[in-house]
Structure 1
Amino acid sequence: MTLPILSKENIELNKKVDTKENAIKMTGELLVARGYVEPSYIDRMLEREQLTSTYMGNFVAIPHGTEEGKQSVKESGIAIIQVPEGVEFGEGNEVKLLIGIAGKGDEHLDILSQIAIVLSEEENVEKIVAATSEEEILAFFEGVN
Structure 2
Amino acid sequence: MAEILFNETNTRLRIEAESWEAAVGIGGELLVAQGCVEESYIDGMIQNVSQHRVDVVIAEGIAIPHTRYEDGAFRAGISLVTLKTPLSFSGSKEMVKVVLCFSAMNVQDYWHMVSFALDLIEYGVLDRLTEAKTLEEVKSIVALC
- Aligned positions of 1:1-145 closer than 5 A: 6-9=5-8, 10-53=10-53, 54-66=56-68, 68-69=70-71, 72-89=72-89, 90-106=91-107, 107-121=109-123, 123-142=124-143
Give the CA deviation at 1:142: 4.3
- CA-atom RMSD, angstroms? 2.1
**TM value normalised by structure 1:** 0.83
Q: Which runs of 5+ in 2 are unaligned?
A: none
Would the aligned equivalents of 1:87 and 1:94 in 2 still touch at CA under 8 Å?
yes
- Structure 1 residues 56-92: Cα deviation after superposition (integer angstroms, max 9, x where no partner): 22211111113632xx212211100010211222243
Would the aligned equivalents of 1:47 and 1:66 in 2 still touch at CA under 8 Å?
no
Would the aligned equivalents of 2:36 and 2:75 in 1 still touch at CA under 8 Å?
yes
Would the aligned equivalents of 1:5 and 1:77 in 2 still touch at CA under 8 Å?
no
How many positions carry a matched residue from both structures? 138
**TM value normalised by structure 2:** 0.83
In structure 2, the CA distance between the partners of 1:5 and 1:40, relative to structure 1 (3 Å rule), is farther
Give the CA deviation at 1:22: 1.4
Match of 1:60, SS state, is strand
Q: 2:104, 2:4 → 1: CA distance?
A: 9
Q: Which runs of 5+ in 1 are unaligned?
A: none
Stretches of 4+ aligned residues off by more than 6 angstroms = none
- Structure 1 residues 72-121: Cα deviation after superposition (integer angstroms, max 9, x where no partner): 21221110001021122224321111000111222121221122122223
Matched-pair identity in %: 26
Which amino acid is 1:55 matched to?
Answer: V
Match of 1:96, SS state, is strand
Would the aligned equivalents of 1:57 and 1:93 in 2 still touch at CA under 8 Å?
yes
Which amino acid is 1:120 matched to?
Answer: E
